[in-house]
Structure 1
Amino acid sequence: MTGGQRIYPWVVFGLAFVLLLSDYMSRQVLSAVFPFLKAEWALSDSRLAALNSVVALMVGLLTFPLSLLADRWGRVKSLVLMAIIWSVATLLCAVAVNYGQLLGARFLVGVGEAAYGSVGIAVVLSMFPPHLRASLSGALMAGGSFGSVIGVALGGVIAVQLSWRWSFTAVAIFGLLLVVLFRVFVTQTKVDRYQHGDTTATSGEPRTTAGYRAPLTSLFSIASVNCAYIGSGLQLFVAAVLPAWIPSFLNRYHAMTPDRAGAVAAIFVLLIGVGMIVCGIVTDRLSHEQPTRKWTTAASYSLLAAALLIVGFNLDAGGLQLVLIGAGAFFSAGASGPATAMVANLTHPSIRATGFGSLTLVNSLLGLALGPFVVGVLADRLGLLEALRLAPLAYIGAVAALLIGKRCYPAGTSRLTTLNQSLSA
């Protein structure tokens, strides 16, 4: 392999990563300005939560059709268009004069972001060997957490120093600048030139045949894939709650000012991102020869997160509480990389972006959209602290789905091998 062949895939990974930073900066900057919006427009927690959840809801509803369209129209062109839409929509958030306009602008942010994760991961993974999938998936998805960190921390500082409108404006400008950079260095022609075939699959993984388009029904006809979808979505329920509500939690129960709460919350979100990377690397190391270990590690991360967060939120406010919540945050999305790798292993390359779109759909509906909204509704009735104490119970469903998926995995790989043979016949 030449130097160019080794370097360019990492260039694409890096640019896809920083563009994902922009994606989540646009999504999560809202959390930093919750206290300002609540005071200025007298909003309830459930209405604040709707501003957050509408983005994830649109991602969930549109990710599958837009991923399917990207598989046919061109993945790189689709990524550029998506980034333009969410950046412009973030500018519209800055000029909203009432709740309805802001909700509409957030709706458009969700439209722009809908398929970026699924299509971006498909572009990146197509250029690397299968044994790196959990690590790369975890690292790329961690860009969402790092973007959330920057969005929450920077948004809080700008809102205090200037106004909450400037928080949205700064994030939007950053996104548009990254679009230009991505467009200059990444083209579909170059990406296609560096494609990595799946014929080098790790031991125990199905081998695929290029040049054929698999039926869309194969995305849902394999039981283990469906378990990966559900397990991933439910573990993200809590991972989505933390960035959305930790700033308000710190503001209300630890008496922190909005800018300080945003800065401290950024540490928790950073831990989520670091945890995704570390958990992905550990999973690849442990499952290199035995792919079924991906399921075991994913379930273990979810169990650890549940235990740490349940204990943490039930302690009195103080340093120990924050330490345990931080430890729980580290593992809260640890199953994301392994789950994405499982979907890749069980999805034909011709429809892999659409497969990741299905994963994003479930991630959004069960986790990213549902989590913050449910906690917001519960907070209006029970109080925010009590709502956060209940949230980790979602991990019970995640662990159950992942363990069932492990049991069904051998049959799933056999099913995909049969599909490949039928397509090449």
Structure 2
Amino acid sequence: MIAITSSVEESIGAPTAGTSSSRRRLYPWIVFGLAFALLLSDYMSRQVLSAVFPFLKADWSLTDSQLASLTSVVALMVGLLTLPISILADRWGRVRSLVLMAVLWSVATLACALAGGYEHMLIARFMVGVGEAAYGSVGIALVLSVFAPQVHAALAGAFMAGGSFGSVVGVSLGGVIATQLGWRWSFAAMAVLGLLLAAAFKVLITERRLAKYQVRRPDGGVVVRRAPFSSLFTNPAVMCAYVGGGLQMFMAAVMLAWLPSFFNRTYDYPPARAAVVASVFVLLIATGMIGCGYIADRLSRNDITGKWTVGIGYCAIGFVCLMAAFRLDTGAGQLALLAIGAFFSAGSSGTTAAMVAGLTHQSVQASGMGTLTLANNLLGLALGPMVVGILADHLGLLGALQWAPLAYLPAAAAMLLGKRLHPRGLAKLQTLDAATTIKSDEES
């Protein structure tokens, strides 16, 4: 994170006159820090379920597909509702929307702690998904609005890594709490944290303050009207970023949901130890999202299309390592390949987010990120765990995991097509930009 900080010291949006230099540097990082903390809470509430899978399976005699449904219903609702809620947030106010989302998912997580059976838990998890639906898209749009484009891949990767870091804490802490106090207390702890962070965000972040630090156009242009919503789907390169970004999340989502059970069943670890060991690999996923985003920014300083190439490389590494890992016998060799695969498994997240940010109009950028989140959830976070859960009922969990990395192949193909279409997509954006802005010296 130090490397990222130093690289963006001079890339933070300039505030209005009269704001001190120290405040100019500090406030965008306060925005990032609080938004990142809420994303941690988001995924802690979402992924704590994985840590208590063994307890729920024993208490309620659930099948693997039922367990998978409790995970996938959240991602499904996030996928279905992200775009409409992101559109509303662009109009209603991003800060107000983010606070409301955090309160809703926290209250729903508390309801999980009170669930009396599978049906009650499914309804509560449904509401967790409703609350979390657009947080990632609106939050990242808010963060990127106060930082310059040349560091967007690193910041997007770091922000999105909050999901994995939150999963680490949610899985490991949830497993420990469930073992010591019971699984219901795991959900209750996550709920209280979310409510506290929502209150802090409400106090410290306001639309008025954000407006002072928003990055201005290099030519001094001012947006005079909103770009049409259809522009999110008529840019061919952006469409490739949506598809490639969603599919490259497939395997990361599988590992987030099923690694605790993998170590419980394959290595015969007790649930608490399996959750802790799995959290190490989830931490590698998060670290990889940050590191891979930073590397992509560095390698593409002179050619923005280099982000596509780097993203394709990350998919290739993840595919090779994870295909091999799940076919090896248990032991050090398997764990080493799992570690490498985990690091690169979601490495393309920052690159695809940077492509979406760079190829969509600023007036609908939250909606663009919402569309990317929709793809991430429908093609990755919802589809991955559910497909593996269904296959596991027939092939066993290990057998299902052996086939899951195949999702990287169409992901890489979409990114390759996106690179070829990038010039056409950039030309479309420039035409749209010219039609919706005026130069500042032309303002009446």
Instruction: Please classify the TM superposition score into its range, dividing by the shorter chain length.
Output: over 0.9
RMSD over aligned Cα atoms: 1.1
Match of 1:312 among 322, 325, 329: 325
8 A contact 1:76–1:186 mirrored in 2: yes
Q: Which of 381, 387, 393 matches 2:400?
A: 387
1:110 to 2:123 alignment = no
Please, which of 52, 59, 64 is the counterpart of residue 71 of structure 2? 52
Structure 1 counterpart of 2:388, from 375, 383, 392: 375
The aligned amino acid for 1:394 is: A
CA offsets 1:384-410 (integer angstroms, 9 cap, x no match): 001001000000000000000000001
Matched, 1:157 2:176: yes
Counterparts in 2 of 1:359-374, with a 5 A limit?
359-374=372-387
2:286 is the counterpart of 1:267: no
Name the CA distance, whole Å, in 1 between partners of 2:268 and 2:224: 59
Q: Number of residue pairs matched?
A: 419
Q: Assess if the C-alpha contact under 8 Å between 1:208 and 1:417 holds in 2.
A: no
Matched-pair contact (CA < 8 Å) for 1:59–1:110: yes
Aligned partner of 1:77 in structure 2 is 96
Give the letter for the 2:269 counterpart: M
Give 1:203's aligned residue: none
In the TM superposition, what is the alpha-carbon distance from 1:208 to its structure 2 partner? 7.3
How many Å separate the matches in 2 of 1:31 and 1:319? 24
Contact in 2 for aligned 1:25/1:152 (Cα 8 Å): yes
Report Cα offsets for 1:17-46 as digits up to 9, x if no partner: 011000000000000000000011110000
Q: Which runs of 5+ in 2 are unaligned?
A: 1-13, 15-20, 439-444
Deviation at 1:318, TM superposition (A): 1.1
Residue number among 62, 87, 96 corresponding to 1:43 in the alignment: 62
**Number of the residue aligned with 1:178:** 197
Q: Which amino acid aligns with 1:337?
A: G
Q: Aligned pair 1:190/2:203, yes or no?
A: no
C-alpha contact (below 8 Å) 2:28/2:143 kept by paired residues: yes
Q: What does 1:122-161 align with in structure 2 at a 5 Å threshold?
A: 122-161=141-180
Kindly indicate whether the alpha-carbon contact (under 8 Å) linking 1:129 and 1:198 is maintained by their aligned counterparts in 2: no
The residue correspondences of 1:264-303 to structure 2 (distance < 5 A) are 264-303=277-316
Shift of 1:209: 5.1
- Counterpart of 2:8 in structure 1 is none
Query: Which whole-Å CA distance do the structure 2 matches of 1:199 and 1:238 have between them?
Result: 38
Q: Is the 8 A contact 2:312 2:415 kept in 1?
A: yes
Deviations 1:277-331 (A, max 9, x none): 0000000111112000000000100110010000100000112111111110100
Q: What is the identity, as a one-letter code, of the residue corresponding to 1:398? A: A
Give the TM-score taking structure 2 as reference length.
0.93
Structure-2 residue corresponding to 1:409: 422
Partner of 1:204: none
In 2, distance between residues paired with 1:387 and 1:115? 30
Which residue does 2:82 correspond to in 1?
63
1:344 and 1:59 map into 2 onto residues whose CA distance is 20
Structure 2 counterpart of 1:238, which letter? M
| Cα displacement string for residues 101-131 of structure 1 (whole angstroms, at most 9, x for unaligned residues) | 0000000000000000000001000000000
Structure 1 residue 163, shift from structure 2 partner: 0.5
Among 250, 254, 270, which residue is 1:237 paired with? 250
Q: Which amino acid aligns with 2:326?
A: F
Mapped partners of 2:334, 2:150: distance in 1: 38
- For 1:157 and 1:303, locate their aligned partners in 2 and report how far apart those are by CA, in whole Å: 35
Q: SS at the partner of 1:199?
A: coil
Moved over 4 A (4+): none
CA distance in 2, matches of 1:191, 1:52: 34
For residues 402 and 339 of structure 1, the distance between their equivalents in structure 2, rounded to whole angstroms, comes to: 8
CA contact (8 A) 1:208 1:348 kept: no
* 8 Å contact from structure 1 (residues 79, 119) kept in 2: yes
CA-to-aligned-CA distance 1:81-120 (integer Å, 9 cap, x gap):
0000000000000000010000000000000000000000
* Alpha-carbon distance in structure 2 between the residues aligned to 1:42 and 1:129: 51
Q: Quick one: which amino acid aligns to residue 69 of structure 1?
A: L
Give the fraction of aligned pairs with identical amino acids, expressed as a percent: 61
User: What residue number does 1:221 align with?
Assistant: 234
Deviation at 1:240, TM superposition (A): 0.3
